[in-house]
Chains A and B, each alone.
Chain A
Amino acid sequence: MTETELINLLKPRFKAYLEGAFRQIDPTKAAMEYRKQLLVKLLDRSQELHIRGIEDPELIFKTAIDELGDMSQNLDKFENREKNKGEIKRKVSMGTIIAMAIIALFGLLYVIAGATTNLWHPLWLVLLFGIFVSATVLLTFAGIKLFKKHKIIPIRIMLVAIEVMLSVFVFLVLQILFNINGSWLVFLAMVALIFGVDTAIAFLLGDKTKWIEFPIFIEVLCVMLYVILGIALDPLNHVASIWHPGWIMCLAGVGVAIVELIVFLVNRARLNAKMEEEREEDLNQKTDESYWTEWDD
């Protein structure tokens, strides 16, 4: 029997089987696509069984259908999965609603406070705060969705976006409300914050890059701290200055990297020694055994 003849025979039967089975779930577009996928799977499997030597169409039909497992359970799982997908979508749309509500609330606050006090400036910061908070809410909901799909890199990028927004807001508050000279130093701190949070995530997730990120973070932190303190204390030059010998701080990252390298080398040496020891033991055992069993012929 050729494959074409076999398919002509089995295809209608597979279709009838699937049509019957799928009546237990709702007739959705997703269900239709799943049903079609299963037909392709059954036909592929039939071809494979035929290639492997089964000629009896009845046996091929039975084997292929059996391999699908309990269709009732499969279809229940499929439906639940589809519902969960819907829930995630709802969560995202819920996130959008919450974000919009926050903007509306802060917008209302801004209008009321502005109208009653006539301090439109700097009260617009309230509205900006609302926008940043709603953006953070949106990113958080999206982050949850991505986390479920194990997509970590986009989450890390989102966190950077949140940190940037936070820094911008803090800068504006310090600059506009308190008129603090050197508020811009917040952006230097922001760089260290971004590296710090990302390093913490790397450690939390057990990411391989954590030991590379850690000294980089320390280095960035120390350099930023050095620059911030240097600039902040510069006007008090006659009282205190950190420029010298404060620059030594900048070596901290290198120091951490060296310590890490030493620890790594020591650990590796220990591991090698242990493996060598085990190998020696193993070799001795095998050698001993050969005293009893090895022949020259």
Chain B
Amino acid sequence: MPISSKKKLKAEIWDRMQFLFRNYYDRMVHLKLVYDGKLDISVLKQVIVYMIEKAPVLHSSFNTTVLEPYWKKEDYTIDDILTVTETDDADRDADVFLSGTIPYDNNVQMKIAVFEQKTEAGIKTVLALRENHMCMDGGDLKYFIVTLVQNYNRLKNGAYGEIGMKSGSRSLDQIYSKFEGDDLKHARGLYKNIAKSQDHVGFPWSAPSDSDENRIIRREIDEEHFAALRATSKKLGITINDAVMAITFRSLYDLCGLKDDDSLTVSCAIDLRKHIVEGGAKGGLTNHTAWLACRTLERGATMQDTVVNVIRSMKNFKRDKFSGLYSLPLLKLAYTILPQDVAEIAIKLGYDNPLLAVSNMGQLDDKGMSFEGLTLKSGFISGATKYKPFFLMSVTTLLGRMTLSTAIRGSAPDVAVANKYFDLFEKYLDEFVKI
């Protein structure tokens, strides 16, 4: 039965940028959570519908026109979003589910699958979710999943008054909400294009072939190693992200066969919500992510040297109160004054998608993601499935373990090269914790 009436929604700048990125990746953000216990599917269905209704973009299709694209609210049923399957291998089936995509002109932009597997201890439940990056980024997906779990728990307890979800503007302009006066004027005038990369080192993926398919390759860093990483970072006065970046650089120098004095750029995702009043809690689900190009001019003889090189680069961004805001006025101008098709061509000419990138989405809230009556065992969020030659390593931490993942449209040799990279990462992680 139809649930909503049809209505147009504005396609925001980031929606359109993510649409442009269809040339580089499949636009899907992936989430997987593993639990011991069985979900109350009836409650889950109601909560999902409630939340999808609160975020109309999630039940809209993206429509392109020559002049300006727009979202169109579509009719849907819960079955378009949620599937529940009993299986003998929930992990395997969830991974297969996550490798799927959602066309941008689909009636819903999020798919959730629950896989239930009988084990000796009872029921193992895997919740897998994929959503269109054009609707929201990893930052808001973290919010979405915690809110979904909390709303589920509240509905189960009849706490109707506490059920809720943020909704509001999805506009890019929110990122200026903390600025005022000269700073605001300056931020809105940052037309400089910083999206042109100085280095062109790529990940050694194999050549594209017909056997390529969407894959998520991941590696979990256990509690002991992650605790050591955190302790060493604290000792050195750097963030975990700095440490991850340093280890990534050292691993990539090896993997990509670079000389010690070669320069290397690895882009690092930055959450622009730090520029928004209350961290975007009043806005709708959307994208607020930009990239910073972390660059080192040499490998460094030791791990310590690499750490120093990386933090030197990262400090430039950390000390810049406008970090992440460069080029955005230019982007806005292009999408405002040019028709969609022309704007896409113009932006593509001026934009280099990062060949190597890291997106550290940080700590996932284990308590917030615990359904009542179920025990959270593991989970991760992974970015979009990249097309070669692009490489993105997603990083999330849950229950004291850090999951590294890379999603690639590739073949068996690509799985091998990604695993080789993770081996190097672990090797240099061991070196790092010995500093």
A residues bordering B, Cβ < 8 Å? 2-4, 6-7, 40, 44, 47-48, 50-53
Contact = CB atoms under 8 A, between A and B. Distances in A.
A53 B435 CA distance: 7
B324 to A, nearest CB: 21
A27 to B, nearest CB: 25
A6 B238 CA distance: 13
B21 to A, nearest CB: 33
A48 B238 CA distance: 11
Counting from the closest, the 10 A-B pairs by CB-CB distance are A3-B237, A52-B304, A48-B308, A2-B235, A51-B304, A51-B236, A51-B307, A47-B237, A3-B236, A51-B308
A2 B237 CA distance: 7
A47 B319 CA distance: 16
A47 B235 contact: no
B328 interface: no
Nearest to A53: B304
Contacts of B311: 47-48, 51
B274 interface: no
B234 interface: yes
A47 B238 CA distance: 9
Given A3-B235, A51-B236, A51-B435, A44 B304 contact: no
Contact of A4 (B237, B305, B315): B237
Given A2-B237, A51-B304, A51-B308, 13 more contacts: A3-B236, A3-B237, A44-B315, A47-B236, A47-B237, A47-B238, A48-B311, A48-B312, A50-B236, A51-B236, A51-B238, A51-B311, A52-B302
B307 A2 contact: no
A48 B234 CA distance: 14
Contacts of B237: 2-4, 6-7, 47, 50
Interface string B224-241: 000000000011111000
Interface residues of B, number: 15
Nearest to A43: B237
Interface of B: 234-238, 302, 304-305, 307-308, 311-312, 315, 319, 435
Contacts, number: 37
A52 B308 contact: yes
A51 B303 CA distance: 9
26 contacts: A3-B234, A3-B236, A3-B237, A3-B238, A4-B234, A7-B237, A40-B319, A44-B312, A44-B315, A47-B236, A47-B311, A48-B308, A48-B312, A50-B236, A50-B237, A51-B236, A51-B238, A51-B304, A51-B307, A51-B308, A51-B311, A51-B435, A52-B302, A52-B308, A53-B304, A53-B435
Contacts of A44: 312, 315
Contacts of B315: 44
Contacts of B305: 52
Nearest to B235: A2
A52 B234 CA distance: 15
Contacts of B304: 51-53
A53 B307 CA distance: 12
Contacts of B302: 52
B237 to A, nearest CB: 3
B308 to A, nearest CB: 5
A81 B319 CA distance: 25
Contacts of A4: 234, 237
A51 B435 CA distance: 7
Nearest to A40: B319
Contacts of B307: 51
Given A51-B307, A52-B304, A2 B435 contact: no
A44 B237 CA distance: 10
Contacts of A2: 234-235, 237
Nearest to A50: B236
Nearest to A48: B308
Contacts of B234: 2-4
Contacts of A6: 237
Nearest to B237: A3
A48 B300 CA distance: 13
A51 B312 CA distance: 12
A53 B302 CA distance: 11
B100 to A, nearest CB: 44
A143 to B, nearest CB: 24
Contacts of A40: 319
A51 B305 CA distance: 8
A55 to B, nearest CB: 11
A48 B237 CA distance: 10
A44 B302 CA distance: 19
A2 B233 CA distance: 9
Contacts of A53: 304, 435
A191 to B, nearest CB: 29
A196 B305 CA distance: 52
A154 B363 CA distance: 49
A50 B238 CA distance: 12
A281 to B, nearest CB: 28
B244 to A, nearest CB: 15
A52 B300 CA distance: 11
